[in-house]
Amino acid sequence: MAVFDQQYSRRRFLQISAAVGAVVSLGGVTAACNVTGGQGGTFNWMTWGDHYIDEQLKAIEASDKIIANISELAGNAEGFAKLKEVKGQLDMISGDALWVPDAYYKDGLIEPFDINDLKVASQLYPFAREFPIWTKPEGYLGYPFGWSPISIYYNPKFVDPAPDSWEVLFDPKYEKRIVVENQPEEIVAYMGKAAGFDDVYNMTDDQLATVKGYLERLKPNVLRFAQQATDSVNSMISEEAYLITGNLGNEDRVKDGGGPEIKGYIPKEGTVGWMDAEMVVKGGANTSLIFPYLEKAEVAENIAANFITHGRPLFNEAAYKVLVDQGEKDRADRYHYNESESILAATTLKGPGTSTEKSIQLFNDVFAA
Amino acid sequence: MSDGSAAPAIELVDVMKRYGEAVALDGLSLQIQAGEFFCLLGPSGCGKTTTLNLIGGFVPLTSGELRIEGRRVNDLPPHKRNVNTVFQNYALFPHMTVAENVAFGLRMEGLPASDIGRRVDEYLELVDLAGFHDRYPGQLSGGQAQRVALARALAKRPAVLLLDEPLGALDLKLRKQMQVELSRIHRQVGTTFVFVTHDQEEALSMATRIAVMAGGRIRQIGSPREIYQRPVDRFVADFIGESNFLGGELRNDGPGPIFRLREGTELPVVPGFGSTRTTGPATLMVRPESVAVGPIAPTGPAPMAVIAGRAANVAFMGNHTRITVKTDAGVLVSIRFHESGKGAAEEEMVDREVHVWWDPRESTIVAAGDEPDVGEETGGG
Amino acid sequence: MSTEIVGGAAVAPPASPRSGRAARLRQLAPFLPAGFILIGLFFVPLALMFVFSFWSTDVNLDVLPVWTLENYVNFFENPGYVRTLLKTMLMGAGVTLACLVGAFAVAYFLARYVSRRWARFALLLIIVPFWTSYLLRVYSWQAILGEHGALNQVLMALGVISEPSFLFVYNDVGTFIVLVYVYVPFAALVLYSSLERFDFTQVTAAQDLGANSLRAFRHVLLPQIRPGIITACIFVFIPILGEFLTPSMVGGASGLLIANLVANFFKNALIPEGAAIGFMIAVIVLILLIAFRRYLRVEDVYARG
């Protein structure tokens, strides 16, 4: 799941701290209880809130005695920093795209594995088992889960003609009518896309100078920064915003919330996006439980249910068929569920890059007083 | 200071004060002459503090008229009344030195700094605190704080100084000292002092005149001596000092008025001492120190009031002895001050048949016997 | 103003230096937990922040322990940071002033005219919103101030405006309103506890001595509640230097304060860069605290609030 869905708040920070504290202490206890590593047990997992459904967890606990002790993941950078601290006290952690190889793997925090050892992996789209960025000599870096490109959503009542580019964000007509999520690095990255650059997480100083001009044009149109995805959705529902940026599926969320009919598109200049994976933590005390857990949790029926609940495409191909059988083909297609390979190929994947620090400096520079 | 010859320093005419439904002052009329040390005395809730606050301008009056030095001041704010107050808790400014406290009122008046300095020195000297200029209130004893409050108010040279139970917070010994001090200062400055207290001893020792108040009304106004010796009613008698009360009937069918106790004994009374003109049920009051006790009442040229009884208790109290005598008319208390060279014969009287007697000029008829007593629960010395 | 002997040392019997020290250690023992908390939760983090602020981050987002002044140079070379810091302080000063005025009115009324029991009850009501999360409260303000929010509806119903106004939200005005709302209770608590101790007879006395209300306030009340006022200022002003949630939620694109810029670094694991600005804020806070340490009465809030 995506960085874009993260709120960054004091409350969340406290939750994370508390959760990590609990993980640390629980980790110690459960490690002591599970030395023999029998059939069941508890493992510690730091993940986003949409990577699981409680009923599914309960079912696995009932049938296999495997309990997932979950702590909330706030963002890639924080998850990465936290894992560096607690290491083997976690057993599994979720991470995005290039964060997986460039941060977790590089720092030796995760244990690569042979994805084909997992029977359930055969349900994945074949290319998802072979992402070059996740393939290393020691094995595959994580179990692929979900993905989404960052799209633009607009309310056709106010936005006319129908846009197809990032340029609409700079139109003076929409002064103070755009809500973007409070994610400076991503905003700078898609401004890079708007400027026609490709490798937007590794921009040169010249490129960044160009991007600055785009940011400055964006600024007067920004009504406010959304703390979390629901803020953007709500601003469309209240029609305070005419345009928002965000993950796939916002048109349904706005409609479900009683809002207007809105439309979304992937800008023609290309976009940034994410795909995430479950990684096995190196030295985790209960990693023996992870494969048995994934075999149960990642089956097509569960993933289809997850799609319906949380609304963004996933990598489980068999689940697409389940969705079609369930009469949800329209919805799945609207979310490009079956087009993951082509769309991801045209998307710059999120990850720590060489221009991260300069991107933040640039953002701060433009949005400072 | 006021010339005082024409108008009284303070005059209240039919003043009413209500707090909602509650009547605090019920048609109060009062004149205080310039230079008096006037005391408002009464139990709590009697209206004395309200009266003071009205004069000070801290609460508005409901109706009636208030004049200070002949000028109607009903609607004037406190600082335009030429009146200053010494507050019960002194209300010194803790963040200012003693000198700054005393200077405060003068600064507010806009006096030149040199005058202020002189005036501060003068009044600190008056209250015997020369050299305390740079102390802070927190570093003063209660008595010293009291003097600063006095100096601060007097430095304004008001026509009237109001004092709200100023000695209430002091211990007994200090209180007695301050009583003497206050009297001295009053004589020295000659300002009209209006003083509120519930302590009858304080009132008796300092005041030139006392108004005894109860239930928002004045019960009696008079000099301390008048109030003590000739209380108009049982409430006043009871509130000021200790009293013996005897119930009976006043008769005037003989050569002079006679007070007839319920069991039949007849006591002579002096016409004009109390309400002796109306006959019928009445209460006779006599102070314990006026009552003598002995085996036999002396016979003399003037007839004494005599009652037979039994000495129930004799208590040695240091400078005096307290004898309680049970009679058919009730219990009487006698106080005998010790004179040098006299033995302690009183102790031998316990449980003996004795007589109590007094000079009729020492007793007074206070009120009809069945008069309900206002605020009696707080009465007594 | 009382001069009390702190601790029990003064009454301890004279003893040899060694046993004296042992005794002193024993007396200090109960304070050890507090000491550890202070060291562990305050001094150590501050020291860490200080050290980190002189290091840098590599592309791998690992902190490199290589000493550099770059983070500070960047702060001062980039006028945006200095401007934002100054703006934040200006905002803090404005909010503090508004909180003081509002809180004083409330606290004065409660302390002077309301019985202590009801005053405490009223203060409790003032604190009640603190039981809800800060985030929720700011969301509520979004709902009140927003385009279709309660304020606009009322103003339109009254005919004051014909179109929904963005005058009160997604700008500095919105930030100001919400920050005042958030911090007024702190100021009210501190000022109330100052005023509660104040003997109002002194005001009467000042008036009796010829002061009008204004001068009585200035010469008598104000000097005595100055510590409370300064404490209230510090309790309001300092947290505002660290406010990022309110400005990012109701401040709009131009309403960010300095803490938002810091948060942007931390959010992307750029710890040294964020630490440098964070430390600059900490220095300002320390300077303020040192300047006003004489007046700080922390017990106002914790012991009496």
The domains of chain C, with CATH numbers, are 1-52 (no CATH), 75-302 (1.10.3720.10)
Backbone φ, ψ for residue B34 (5° rounding)? -60, 140
If you measure CA to CA, which chain C residue comes closest to A364? C261
Alpha helices in chain C (DSSP H): 17-28, 32-38, 44-52, 70-77, 79-113, 116-127, 134-145, 150-157, 172-197, 201-208, 213-216, 222-241, 245-250, 258-267, 271-291, 299-302
Is residue C300 over pLDDT 60? no
Is residue B369 over pLDDT 80? no
What was the pLDDT predicted at B98? 96
Q: What is the pLDDT of residues C34-50, one digit of tens each?
A: 888 888 888 898 899 99
Q: How many domains does one find in chain B?
A: 2
Is residue C29 over pLDDT 90? no
Instruction: Give the residue carrying structure tokens 């003064």.
Output: C10
Burial C228-237 (b: 16+ CB within 10 A, else e): bbbbbbbbbb
More confident: C298 or C213: C213
* Residue B164 · residue B172 · CB < 8 Å: no
Asked whether residue B109 is domain-assigned, the answer is yes
Strand order in the sheet with A263-265: A222-226, A178-181, A243-246, A151-154, A263-265
* Residue A1 · residue A181 · CB < 8 Å: no
* Residue B29 · residue B15 · CB < 8 Å: yes
Cα of C170 to nearest chain A Cα, Å? 6
Indicate whether B253 and B215 sit together in one domain: no
Which residues share a beta bridge with B353? B310
Asked whether residue B378 is domain-assigned, the answer is no
N- to C-terminal Cα distance for chain A? 33
Backbone φ, ψ for residue A126 (5° rounding)? -55, -40
What was the pLDDT predicted at B352? 86
C202: confidence class by pLDDT, cuts 50, 70, 90: very high
Q: What is the pLDDT of residues C206-224, one digit of tens each?
A: 999 999 889 999 999 999 9
Domain C-terminal end among B204, B229, B254: B229
Query: From chain C, which residues contact B within 8 Å (Cβ)?
Result: 1-2, 199, 201-202, 204-212, 215, 219-220, 223-224
- Which among A21-25, A31-35, C146-150, C243-247 has the top mean pLDDT? C243-247
Sort strands A151-154 and A178-181 into parallel, antiparallel or unpaired.
Answer: unpaired
With an 8 Å Cβ cutoff, are C87 and A363 in contact? no
A10: confidence class by pLDDT, cuts 50, 70, 90: very low
Closest CA to A285 of A99, A7, A87: A87
Retrieve residue C1's tokens: 């103003």
DSSP A348-362: EEP---TTHHHHHHH
Among candidates C1, C202, C224 on the partner chain, residue whose Cβ is nearest the Cβ of B136? C1
Indicate whether B182 and B315 sit together in one domain: no
CB-based contact (8 Å) between C171 and chain A? no
Report the C-alpha gap between C56 and C38 in whole angstroms: 28
Report the C-alpha gap between A149 and A272 in whole angstroms: 6
What was the pLDDT predicted at A227? 85
Q: What is the CATH number of the domain that holds B145?
A: 3.40.50.300
Asked whether residue B140 is domain-assigned, the answer is yes
The three-state secondary structure class of C116 is helix
Report the C-alpha gap between C297 and C145 in whole angstroms: 35
How many CB pairs below 8 Å do chains A and C form together? Answer: 120
CB-based contact (8 Å) between B56 and chain C? yes
Q: Domain A149-273+350-367: give its CATH architecture.
A: 3-Layer(aba) Sandwich (3.40)
Amino acid in position A310: H
What was the pLDDT predicted at C258? 94
Q: What is the pLDDT of residues B254-308, one digit of tens each?
A: 777 888 898 888 888 887 776 666 778 888 899 999 998 888 877 777 788 899 9
Mean pLDDT of B60-86: 91
Residues 6+ apart with CB under 8 A from C148: A238, A239, A240, C164
Query: What is the 8-class DSSP label of residue C14?
Result: P
What was the pLDDT predicted at C246? 93
More confident: A250 or B379: A250
Cα of B84 to nearest chain C Cα, Å? 6
**A and B: touch, per 3+ CB pairs < 8 A?**
no
DSSP C178-193: HHHHHHHHHHHHHHHH
Indicate whether B194 and B261 sit together in one domain: no
Asked whether residue B205 is domain-assigned, the answer is yes
Percent of chain B with pLDDT over 70: 91
Closest CA to B55 of B3, B2, B10: B10
What was the pLDDT predicted at C219? 94
Tell me the three-class secondary structure of chain B, residue by residue.
CCCCCCCCCEEEEEEEEEECCEEEEEEEEEEECCCCEEEEECCCCCCHHHHHHHHHCCCCCCEEEEEECCEECCCCCHHHCCEEEECCCCCCCCCCCHHHHHHHHHHHHCCCHHHHHHHHHHHHHHCCCCCCCCCCHHHCCHHHHHHHHHHHHHCCCCCEEEEECCCCCCCHHHHHHHHHHHHHHHHHHCCEEEEEECCHHHHHHHCCEEEEEECCEEEEEECHHHHHHCCCCHHHHHHCCCCEEEEEEEECCCCCCEEEECCCCEEECCCCCECCCCCEEEEEEECHHHCEEECCCCCCCCCCEEEEEEEEEEEECCCEEEEEEEECCEEEEEEEECCCCCCCCHHHHCCCEEEEEECHHHEEEEECCCCCCCCHHHCCC
Retrieve residue B195's tokens: 């003083």
A90: confidence class by pLDDT, cuts 50, 70, 90: very high
Domain C-terminal end among B229, B250, B283: B229
CB-based contact (8 Å) between C141 and chain A? no
Cα of A76 to nearest chain C Cα, Å? 8
Which pTM does this prediction carry?
0.77
What is the extent of the structural domain holding B107?
A: 10-229
More confident: C175 or B375: C175
The three-state secondary structure class of C108 is helix
Q: What is the CATH number of the domain that holds B295?
A: 2.40.50.100
CB-based contact (8 Å) between B104 and chain C? yes
What was the pLDDT predicted at A34? 43
* Segment among B189-198, B267-276, C232-241 with least mean pLDDT: B267-276
Indicate whether B225 and B247 sit together in one domain: no
With an 8 Å Cβ cutoff, are B79 and C209 in contact? yes
Indicate whether B52 and B179 sit together in one domain: yes
What was the pLDDT predicted at B343? 53
Indicate whether B277 and B300 sit together in one domain: yes
Retrieve residue C208's tokens: 């009796």
* Residue B191 · residue B161 · CB < 8 Å: yes
Asked whether residue B153 is domain-assigned, the answer is yes
Helices C79-113 and C258-267 cross at an angle (nearest 10°) of 120
What was the pLDDT predicted at C16? 52
Report the C-alpha gap between B279 and A15 in whole angstroms: 92
Is residue C65 over pLDDT 90? no
